[in-house]
Amino acid sequence: MLTQLPQDPHSQIQMFLANRPATTARAYAKDLAGWLDFCGGGDPDHWTAVQMLAWQESLAGLSSSTINRKVSALKSFMKWRKQIQESPAEVMKTTKNPTTPKASKWLGEGDVALILDRIPPGTGRSICELIYATGLRVSEVANLTWDNVFDHGDTVVITVLGKGAKVRSLTLRSEQWIAIVGASKGVGYIFQTRTGKPWDQGRIHRLLSTAAGRATGAHALRHAHAQSALAHGCPLPTLQQSLGHSSLKTTGIYLQSRPGDSSALYL
């Protein structure tokens, strides 16, 4: 027997978003609200594929990453409805431990050097180089402005507004900064388009995927930074602060993904 969900789509969407991460919930709520405005709401059981395709076509003009996110939100909601109707236990929330990525999926230093070398010189390559050099999220690098950069002679300090509106600072050697960004200082976004807007994050992912020859997101460079930093002796608490992790347990996944390492090798 199928579980009966409330007919009101707003109530269903609230249930769907209840156990989602805050950032995902906010994005999906906005995307699904746009869908409801388009289709006029009503009982989700009566929504049709024709309506959904028409909605997707109406999104033309937006970036591909934005369209994909909106479509993904609706598809995830519809998949969730089916699961709930078939198994009421799906409404219960489970607690997950931090996931340890498989070591084979990490980019080694040689892999990173090869990928970066395949990206044509220019803004896109500089963004990727800065992500790898600092471990910043692609969103944090894309939104960096010159007001976030402070020259201290031998070092350059970058202030970043990260997840949860938390501000953190990262220090680079001046020669690192100059090699990636250049010696001159500008105004507005550090990496901007001709119209002065920040670079589209989806564009960065596409650059990396093309250079790597397979689907590769900018987050892979952040993971590679963490692995390289630990391999060169970076203390775990320092890495935690640089990456902006709220818990040392989260940063610890990078230690777990180094099966060839052992405390015996340090004696």
β-pairing, 155-161 vs 149-151, is antiparallel
Query: DSSP states of 104-125 as a string?
Result: GGSPPHHHHHHHHHHSPTTHHH
Handedness of CA 63, 69, 72, 77 (dihedral sign): negative
The answer to whether 224 touches 112, Cβ cutoff 8 Å, is yes
Query: What CATH number should be reported for the domain whose range is 103-259?
Result: 1.10.443.10
* 246: pLDDT strictly greater than 80: yes
Tens of pLDDT, residues 114-140: 999 999 999 999 999 999 999 999 889
- Fold identical between 9-91 and 103-259? no
- Three-class secondary structure of residue 168 per DSSP: strand
Closest C-alpha to 40, from 30, 53, 51: 51
Tens of pLDDT, residues 169-211: 999 999 999 999 998 888 999 999 989 999 888 888 888 989 9
pLDDT of 135 reads 92
**Domain residue spans in the chain?**
9-91, 103-259
Which active-site residues does the annotation give? 137, 163, 219, 222, 245, 254
The structural architecture, per CATH, of the domain 9-91 is Orthogonal Bundle (1.10)
Q: How many CB atoms lie within 10 A of CB 208?
A: 27
